Amino acid sequence: MGFSEHVKEIERVGQGSNTGRDALVVESWRRCLETYQLDPAKAREAVIVSETRLREHRQQAEDLVHIARSGLERLYRQVAEQNYVLLLSDRQGVTVEFLGDPSFNNNLRKAGLYLGSEWSEPLAGTCAVGACIATGEALTIHQTDHFDITHTPLSCTAAPIYDTQGALTAVLDISLLSSPILKTSQNMARHLVSSTVRRIELANLMANSRHDLVLRFAAAPEFLDVDPEAAVSVDGAGRITGMTHGGARLLARARGLDWRSPHRLIGQPVADFFDAGLDELASLTRATLPRDRRIALRDGANLYAHAIEPQQRGTATPMARMVRPAPAIARLGGGSVIIDGLKRKIEKLAPSRLPILLQGPTGAGKEFLARIIHETSGVSGRFVAVNCAAIPEQLIESELFGHVPGAFTGALAKGRKGLVEEAEGARCFSTRSVTCLSRPKADCCGCWPRAKCCPSADRRRARSISASSRPRIDCWPIWWLRATSVRIFIIG
């Protein structure tokens, strides 16, 4: 379809004609003409917001991106070979996360399929992200479905992400710079996007409802425990405290309500929606087989349910006082003055914030002792071991500290987390790092406050344990990003 034909079709739709387009597309075109006063004959370049605005939008979406990241990366791996680009936009339509082939960066940026692009309907016209925000529905805007002629080569599929209170909080989109002519070619893309969104919402609900009963639902028992279709959280008084979008639709259907009015669902007694009380719903745990966990809704529909009991609320204990004595220290043995003295030192130093240096010949057990110190400290998290000698010298900086996009030749387009950041809240044990005394490795093992590859400038001194087989070394303080509970073990 040429430029003039595209403009004429939009004008006919504005006059009330039916041109065979999907209803969602027709409604979006009319909003563009009547509400936003956009001119279909005026082409618009893609809008990329300023770095300052992008930083603000990304900070606001940080919690969601953290929860969604593994789901986004998994989806991208599934579609990357078909040259799809993945965009995560916030509720204003600004792209706050982007996954795409860096070899196409120039074309993607020009087309608006890039970090910081703004896809709101009033600005970009009919597009998948904008129409998804306007309707709250998963959809595909394929080629000439787009209002603006600039975007007609694209095929974009998007699904909304709702928060636990039923408000639209983001949009997940996968797009193609060029695609097959038939719109039905994107049906699988829509299924993949919707499935990913469902899992992201479930993960968000679970993360925010640890102290509530969570009820997960499926139409069939086979996938109830592994891939539920909907979920809601319920407090001790039996009232709805949160839900996924599937859960909102389920509750609304049970009472003949509109899911777009979440205030009529949140805070209501769970027994108003199910033909069962709180005690019966709470008993539908994995202690019974999925096929035996069938429940009825108030509208007569039947589902299978999985109840996940709430975590018990505990009293927070300051990290410096969370000392776990005997079990770990007992592995050192005893019966000698030297070992007993070592135990006393560990009990005193492990929960402290002081840097610790371990020295001893190869094979003396420095890693074994470092692990015991970790377990005795009382800090939660796992013990992460990293063999620095196995990491190429030119990659040691980025492997440990991560890197920002474009930090060096061959860097990932989105940057990446370093091994230290992956160990946040835990311990990172680095072997043979002190003996690798080339400048880059020495810098990474020590204090490097101006790290070129480090993706964040928010650095605070963290506690460290260093170890070496050398008779005397400099004990470098270890810097870490945003972490106050990370301890780095360095062993030579």
DSSP letter string, 282-321: HT-STTS-GGG-EEEBTTS-EEEEEEEPPPPP-----GGG
Asked whether residue 313 is assigned to any structural domain, the reply reads: no
Residue 293 lies in a domain: yes
Q: What is the pLDDT of residues 47-94, one digit of tens each?
A: 999 999 999 999 999 999 999 999 999 999 999 999 999 999 999 999
Whether residue 155 sits in one domain with residue 274: no
Looking at the structure, do residues 370 and 481 belong to the same domain, yes or no?
A: yes
Whole-number pLDDT of residue 425: 54
Whether 357 and 231 share a structural domain: no
pLDDT under 70 in the chain at which residues?
A: 313-327, 334-335, 380-399, 403, 406-492
**Same domain assignment for residues 231 and 352:** no
Residues 181 and 288 in one domain: no
Global model pTM greater than 0.85: no
CA distance 476 to 464: 9
Residues 454 and 359 in one domain: yes
Number of structural domains the chain divides into: 3
Question: And the tokens for 167?
Answer: 């408000």
Whether residue 263 is found in the same domain as residue 227: yes
Distances, alpha carbon 468 to alpha carbons 120, 243, 321, 347, in Å: 57, 52, 28, 21
Task: Decide if 120 contacts 127 (C-beta within 8 A).
Answer: no
pLDDT in tens, 294-337: 999 999 999 999 999 998 765 444 444 444 445 677 777 766 77
Whole domain around residue 266: which residue ranges?
209-308
Other CB atoms within a 10 A radius of the CB of residue 212 amount to: 21
Domain end call among 174, 201, 228 = 201
Answer yes or no: do 119 and 225 share one domain.
no
According to the model, what pLDDT value does residue 319 have? Answer: 42
| Residue 55, in any domain of the structure | yes
Q: Residue 328's pLDDT is what?
A: 75
Verify that 214 and 193 share a domain, yes or no.
no
Question: Is the domain of 304 the same as that of 326?
Answer: no
CATH number at residue 325: 3.40.50
